[in-house]
A = this chain, B = another copy of it.
Amino acid sequence: MTAEPTRHLPFADNAAVRFVDTCLRGASQVFFQNNPITGLFLLAGIFWGSATAGTIPVAIGAVLGVMVGTLAAMLLGSDETALRKGMFGFNPILVGIAVPTFLGGQHPLVWLYLVIGAAAAHVVMLAASRALERYGVAASTGPFVITTWILMLAASSFAQVSPVSLAMPVLPHAIDGAVAHATITPLFLLQALFRNISQVFLVNNAIAGLLFVIGIAASSIRAALFAVVGSAVAMAIALLFGADAHAIANGLYGFSPVLTAIGVGCVFLRPSWKVTLYALFATVVTVIVQGGMNILVEPFGIPTLTMPFVLTMWLFTFPKMDLQPRSPHDNAAMDDGQAALST
């Protein structure tokens, strides 16, 4: 949600420029923004993260994913207004990042797998949006999670696209107290604070997280603030209850709560003090949901992705409460947000 009017890149009546602009907005919608500048910063962070980690195929996958998703929307004649806001890019870009992250980028069939997955994610987005639109609830990154879960599970069934960096399926066991004892240094806290944000795009890199925050702030200072505060709250709760310190340090307890903080705090509900408190409570709950889903996925060897955010956000925006007045002619507050999608 931005206060300023929608910005367009120069030469936006050129079809190619419009396509690039739409793809950049698609990237920015992962953080609920509709802003190509934000998208540029996010892509910069993704490239920085993948270059330093030696996983360039991940950045290429991101670009390919958002292009496939946008093309799929154009081919299917999906809603033009939603398309131009980037609503059909943010799930495919995440699919495009996840496929090479977990399956590697060596085998050519992995790239066909990515294209099928990114296009399918658009169909899942249309389906989820239609199911949820009557409730005024956003599908958000739910379609990315469902599509990627299927792709990751299926990778174990197909010899040509087998997993290279997924966990082995195991029966869950309670955390060993020792792994929860972190030596909390200022560096630990600072790194986790920004990795919580970079991990939204599956990037484990504090510099990338900083680029993301700058990108979000370019579109909405308030959203950037909620991102950082949500990250800090998530870290505090995870440390308090004694989660795996290694996971905390790598941002794995924070990327979903960060999205909850922004989404519930300043996108899907009309901002107020009461909503801010409600969003902080939702952020705390997301940390516990993250802990629960970590256990739930263990027998399948798949990552939780952003499902803890999606589930918590759905639960906290489904109720029709006084603190979120929402009548048909009264949703100006989320005009640019994902909730405005009507396909």
Contact = CB atoms under 8 A, between A and B. Distances in A.
Task: Tell me the number of copies of this protein.
Answer: 3
B289 A150 contact: yes
A96 B74 CA distance: 45
A170 B168 CA distance: 13
Given A158-B175, A173-B169, A300 B294 contact: no
A162 B172 CA distance: 13
A16 interface: no
B109 A153 contact: no
Interface string A310-343: 0000111011111100000000000000000001
Contact of A154 (B117, B151, B161, B295): B295
Contacts of A271: none
Contacts of A120: 285, 288, 315
Interface string A277-309: 010010011001111111110011100000000
A interface majority secondary structure: helix
A154 B343 contact: no
B321 A151 contact: no
Contacts of A285: 116, 120, 123
B130 A159 contact: no
Contacts of A161: 241-242
A294 B77 contact: no
Interface in A126-144: 126-131, 135
A316 B119 CA distance: 12
Nearest to A245: B159
A319 B150 contact: no
Contact of A153 (B127, B295, B315, B321): B295
B156 A242 contact: no
B123 A315 contact: yes
Interface in A62-88: 76-78
A284 B171 contact: no
Contacts of A257: none
A3 interface: no
Interface of A: 76-78, 109, 113, 116-117, 119-120, 123-124, 126-131, 135, 149-163, 168-177, 179-180, 240-244, 278, 281, 284-285, 288-296, 299-301, 314-316, 318-323, 343
20 contacts: A76-B278, A77-B322, A126-B321, A127-B316, A127-B318, A127-B319, A151-B288, A154-B288, A154-B295, A157-B291, A157-B294, A158-B243, A159-B177, A159-B241, A163-B174, A169-B171, A169-B173, A171-B299, A172-B299, A299-B300
